[in-house]
Amino acid sequence: MSAPILDDYKNVVGEESILQLRRLAEPLAGRSVVHVNSTRYGGGVAEILEWLIALMNDSGLIASWEVIEGEGSFFTATKKIHNALQGFHEDFDEDDKRAYEEVQHNNAEELREKLEEADFVFIHDPQPAGLLGLCPNRKGTWIWRCHIDASRPFRPVWKFLEPKVEEYDASIFSMPQFARSLNHPQFLIAPSINPLSDKNMSLPESEVEGVIGEFELDPERPILTQVSRFDRFKDPVGVISAYSQINTQPKPQLVLAGGGAADDPEGAAVLAEVKEAADGDPDIHILDLPPDAHRKINALQRASNVIIQKSTREGFGLTVTEGMWKAKPVIGGNVGGICLQVHNFQTGFLVNSPEGAAMRIRYLLEHPKLRNRMGGTAHVFVRDNFLLTRHLREYLTLMVTMDRGNSRRVIDL
Ligand code: UDP
C-alpha cells in the first residue's frame, strides 16, 4: 500500500479517535523524529516502523527511518546479544565486542549530524544501541526501544549492553515483565499491526483460493499455519512434533511459512533443521518466502483454520496479532508478549510443549463452532488493543511527556 494517512483509519477506529490523535500531535508539529534499527525488511520491527513513521508524518511531525549497516561478523555478534537477552548462554567474546563497536563507529560517522539535530531519536533493539555514546552533541530526547523479552538476560551480555542503555533518556518495553532496573523512565507500549496493509487488509476470496492452489494445499482439509522467521526461539521443529501427534480426520496440513531477515544470520541453518524434521512429509509445506510476500502471508493466514506461534521466547509476536485480526484462534507458546494476546478459551490457547499444542489443536479442529467464536473474540481484542492508531497515540503521548520533563517511574500507557 502507499503511505497511509490518519484519515484512512476513520472507518476502522472511528472519527473521534482520529481527531484525538491530531489534537495530541499538535504540540509536536514540526518536531523531527528519527527511528534507527538494523533491517528494513523481515521481522516485526521493520513491519511496524514503516507504518508508524508514515502516520507520524501525517500527524505533523517530520519522521524518518535510518537503518545501520554492518557485515556478517556484526550480525553474528548482535544475534548473540539478541539470544542472550532472551536468556540463552552465549559466548560473546572480545571479537564480538570489537565487531559491535566498529559498526557503531562506522554508522555514527554517517548518521551523527542527523541524529544530533533530531528532536527525538528512537533506537530500536540492541543492534544500534551504541550510537548514543558516539553523538556527544545531541540536542533531542533519546529513547531505547527494546522489542525483545529481556526479562531474564544472560548477565555477562546484559552487562555489556547496560551502560549503553543507561545513557538514554527513557526506554520502552512491550510489557511490564520485560522492564529492567534502569535509572530512567520506562514506558510500556505494546506493538501493533496495520489493519489496512497488504498483510492485514481483507482479501477477495478468489485471491485466498489462488494462494491455496499456488502452494498446492488441499482446500478440503484443515490448514494449520505458523508464519515466522526460521529462528529456534520460534520452535518450528516443535510445531512439526506437535503436528505429528494430531490424528484427527480429515488429516490437516501444516504450513510453516518463513523467510530470512537481513540482520538474522541463523535462518539458513534453522531452515535446514526444519526440512530434516519434516522428513519429506507431503502435508508439511515449508515455504521460504521473499520479504515482500505480504499478501501471500495474508492469504495463508486467512485460509487457515488455526494459527500457531509456538515460540519459546517472544517479544510480542505480531504473527499472533495478524492471525487474530483474521478471526483465527491462535495456539501460542506460553511466553512473553504472546500472553498479552492469547487467553485460554477466549482468543486461543497458551501451550508449553508440543504435546500441549497437539492437544489444543485437536480440540479446536473438533469444535468448529467454538473455533469461530474464539476467532471472533480474537478479532475484537486486536481491534481494541493492538492496532496502529493506538500505537501512534502512545508514542505521541510519550513524546509530549518527555518534552515536558518527567518523573522516574514505569509509566503504563
Ligand atoms: N514475516 C514476513 N515474512 C516471513 C516471516 C515473517 O513477512 O517470512 C512477518 C510476519 O508476518 C510479522 C513479522 O514478520 O509481521 C514478524 O514479527 P513477529 O513479532 O511475529 O516476530 P519477529 O520476527 O519480530 O521476532
Give the Cα separation of 230 and 232 in Å (integer): 7
Backbone angles phi, psi at 299, to 5 degrees: -65, -40
Cα–Cα distance between 98 and 55 in angstroms, integer?
37
Cβ(322) – ligand 1 distance below 6 Å: yes
Rounded to whole angstroms, the Cα distance separating 332 from 51 reads 25
Measured in residues, the chain has a length of 413
Peptide bond into 250 cis (omega under 30): yes
Q: What confidence score (pLDDT) does residue 41 get?
A: 86
Query: Whole-angstrom Cα distance, residue 208 to residue 295?
Result: 9
Among 77, 153, 64, 145, residue whose Cα is nearest residue 111: 64
The DSSP letter of residue 4 is: P
CA-closest residue to ligand 1 atom 14: 43
Question: Per-residue confidence at 264, pLDDT binned at 50, 70, 90?
Answer: confident
In the predicted model, what is the mean pLDDT of the chain? Answer: 95
pLDDT of 413 higher than 80: no
Q: Is the CB of 226 under 6 A from ligand 1?
A: no
DSSP labels, 5-29: -GGGGHHHH-HHHHHHHHHHHGGGT
CA of 138 to the centre of ligand 1 (A): 33
From atom 10 of ligand 1, which residue's Cα is the shortest distance away?
A: 319
**What distance in Å separates the CA atoms of residue 312 and residue 242, rounded to the nearest whole number?**
14
| pLDDT value of position 320 | 98
pLDDT of residue 411: 53
Q: What is the pLDDT of residue 406?
A: 44
Q: How far apart are CA 31 and CA 399, in angstroms?
A: 10
> Which strand (E) or helix (H) includes residue 319?
helix 318-325
> In angstroms, what is the span from residue 409 Cα to ligand 1's centroid?
31
- CA 327 to chain centroid: 19
Q: What is the dihedral of CA 36, 42, 43, 49, to 10 degrees?
A: 40
* pLDDT attached to residue 408: 44
Check pLDDT > 80 for residue 39.
yes
Type of residue found at 401? T
Distances (CA, A) of 111 to 105, 142, 233: 10, 14, 32
Instruction: Decide whether any atom of ligand 1 lies within 6 Å of the 86 Cβ.
Output: no
pLDDT grade, residue 84 (50/70/90)?
very high
SS3 label, residue 135: coil
pTM metric for this prediction: 0.93
